[in-house]
Structure 1
């Protein structure tokens, strides 16, 4: 501080000796020190009550009056407008473009006051008075013009900054509240960036998952598909895109289905990774599964329907083990129509459900029972050792179905006609097997015989 004051004294003393200042070097040094202190940001903040946007007029007045007194005392009153521009430029930076109007008004006031002081003989001028007045007037005009230009430029910058902040805030709100999670992965599937939406979508904090392998959150059964998708999008090069669905673990341990779109932006210097847009599609997936299940199963018994039976039979034949048979049983309930007509559809439905449970109980765990419609059922038997084993099972089921059923306190009795067909070749035709089983069931029902 002492060195700083000393340097100011040397400068003011030199100006005084060279005739460039009419003020005492000691007094001038003091005024200069007071001006610099009053213009300092810390003092200006104090005048503003702790904020640089408050009390703009007061702060500008303090700084400009200090400069005007100092310059007028030195004989340079005509230079007051130039100092005012310097002061206003700093204040516009601190307080914004709105301070330019106050700065212009205060500049005019202190310039006129300084020249009035010279005319009143309160201060001298190093140049003739008429030149001092002319210089002051021209300086004031230039100062007002400069302040207006600086203010307009600052206002434009503030508007652009405000628009940018608004756009950033809108984008941030959209990203944070979006139902989609945006993540960036490196080529090894490590998470390098993730949007705040992960909080409400999956319960994780962004910092909890950064740097981790994305695959640690994927369901083990879905990891191969997710890895394959990542490999495919990397191999596809810049801009390649892949979409797939997989299950991911929430923080609470629940598994949710996500539709993930991966885009290769590894070559983009602004991204440098694989951008993943992940959307929770659990409800859609559950609905899809429910609809698929409903389309393939009987609504009353929950058993696979005729269409699903055909699909499963077609899949079972190629998987037949050498030395074993695939058998198809066609089962028709005897006497069901009489029960349904006598006791109503509710009892008939209850009988169908009870019959399905009894049939299911007579089959092996690996056998598949289906309902074809009405009072008809079918059973697919895989890995049967012989035709005799099929005949024994048919006899057991027929006997079981002759036992009474107790339905809501009412005892009813029906039977079952069961026809069977077997195949021992993976090349066997499922349609032919169905026809043979149906024919065999018809023959049993009407007491005729057919060839297997």
Structure 2
């Protein structure tokens, strides 16, 4: 039997041996049987057809020197080379498959025909030449695709508006794209070999710590940093670190892609600020006030401390608003907010709940007399005249006060208690304060 006929007859056995070897290659481990075998089967059949063809000595000699002359159609070896490159196979892995294919055919042929002479030896020689040609064609296609991929990748890196760079295991730059050089306002050759520490970047410590973790864990990391580069571009950045693995799956470098998110971050902060702060006075609004009150109560509970909540309503403000207009009223409210802020400490919270209602959270309120002094300071400050141009405006405030945990234990109940105390103060006249526990005791006595 000629070798060509033998290959066709024994192709399944040959492919089983070849497949067993291919499965040992890293990039082939997760490939299915069909993905592995398709090219090999077609290449063997192509070689068998070649063995059946008539060839002169010149054509035979050319086979061992490189690819066959182009006839306009891709050979299966070329298809194999392109597929393996795009599948991530290394050159060594790709060549190893051909070696295994050669070994499988020779092993089966030798077992079937222990004696090699005459036509059998000639067939085997021509088979080796055909395999050599297939290797050359596959690697040429592999290299062509690889070069194109490299050019395309280079073009993408060059055109990318995002800074992209590669760092070695010590955190030194080994590649930077144009966007990186422009951002740093430095020539690439000045950056290469330096670390973020060497370049004096303010985020260097955190960046290097995250870089070390990526190298050690072979994981990706997303982070952010704030820095003003020499170019003056941007200020806030997000970045992605990813490990680069070699053929042994060891980390050999780290690639970083960063992006300027300054405008996005400012826009998000503006949206958040508008949702949590009163646009007129700049004070926290009801939403942020409730959140702060919940947090302060949790904090006071953990530390076994007390806090006081002041709820105030402006006396006489409605008349000012109605007589002078909303614009004048808005100016008064803004001035009220400034005076309130001057009456408390920096760690206390002043908020506008809406209309002419304001609240103050006083933390660490251990002495009742201290709270009373702050409340009186506020009453005195708001009793002082306000001026719109030369026009003198007079208003006052009614303040209700509740304590945590003395009066109530929840944010809603604390706010409700201070609100009730405020209405008691308002009924008592202008420039009044009222403690919730005081009128609660009075009400109890009246009921008795």
Q: TM-score, normalised by structure 2?
A: 0.57
- Does the aligned pair in 1 maintain the 2:225–2:236 contact within 8 Å? yes
SS, match of residue 233 in structure 1: helix
* 199-208 vs 178-187, which moves further: 199-208
CA contact (8 A) 1:186 1:272 kept: yes
- Cα deviation, 1:247-303, whole Å, max 9, x if unaligned, reads 234125777211211112133589921111111111111111111111111111111
User: Which residue number in structure 1 is paired with residue 266 of structure 2?
Assistant: 286
Of 291, 306, 309, the residue aligned with 2:286 is 306
Q: Please name the residue that 1:243 is paired with.
A: 222
Q: Partner of 2:308 in structure 1?
A: 327
Alpha-carbon shift at residue 343 of structure 1 (Å): 0.6
Where structure 2 has 5 or more consecutive residues not aligned to the other structure, the ranges are: 1-139, 429-433, 439-448
Q: CA deviation at 1:385?
A: 3.3
Structure 1 stretch 340-349 or stretch 256-265: which is displaced more? 256-265
- Given the alignment of the two structures, is residue 179 of structure 1 paired with residue 178 of structure 2, yes or no? no
Q: Partner of 2:364: helix, strand, or coil?
A: strand
Distance change in 2, residues 1:396/1:445 (3 Å): same
- 3-state SS of 2:278 partner: coil
Q: What secondary structure is seen at the aligned counterpart in 1 of 2:186?
A: coil
Counterparts in 2 of 1:18-417, with a 5 A limit? 168=151, 172-214=154-196, 219=202, 223-224=205-206, 226=207, 229-237=210-218, 240-251=219-230, 256-267=235-246, 272-320=252-300, 324-417=305-398
Residue of structure 1 in register with 2:80 after alignment:
none
Query: Taking structure 1 as reference, are residues 319 and 234 closer, same or farther at Cα in structure 2, changes over 3 Å only?
Result: same
* Cα distance in 2 for residues equivalent to 1:388 and 1:202: 58
Change beyond 3 A, Cα 1:323–1:174: closer
Shift of residue 323, structure 1, vs aligned partner: 7.2
1:351 and 1:405 in contact (8 A); partners too: yes
The number of aligned residues is: 288
Change (3 A) 1:265 1:396: same
CA-atom RMSD, angstroms? 3.3
CA contact (8 A) 1:296 1:304 kept: yes
Ranges in structure 1 where 5+ consecutive residues have no aligned partner: 1-156
CA distance in 2, matches of 1:166, 1:189: 27
CA distance in 1, matches of 2:368, 2:232: 49
Task: Label 1:364 to 1:262 Cα distance change in 2 as closer, same or farther (>3 A).
Answer: same
- CA contact 2:352–2:358 (8 Å) conserved in 1: yes
Cα distance change of structure 1 residues 424 and 183 upon mapping to structure 2, 3 Å threshold: same
C-alpha change, 1:438 and 1:254, in structure 2 (3 Å) is farther
1:404·1:412 contact (CA, 8 Å) conserved in 2? yes
Tell me the alpha carbon deviations over residues 314-343 of structure 1, each in whole angstroms, 9 at most, x when there is no partner. 222333385753211111111111111101
Equivalent residues of 1:198, 1:205 under 8 A apart: no
Q: 1:421 aligned to 379, 398, 402, which one?
A: 402
Tell me the secondary structure at the aligned position of residue 157 of structure 2: helix
1:223–1:436 CA distance, 2 compared to 1 (3 A):
farther
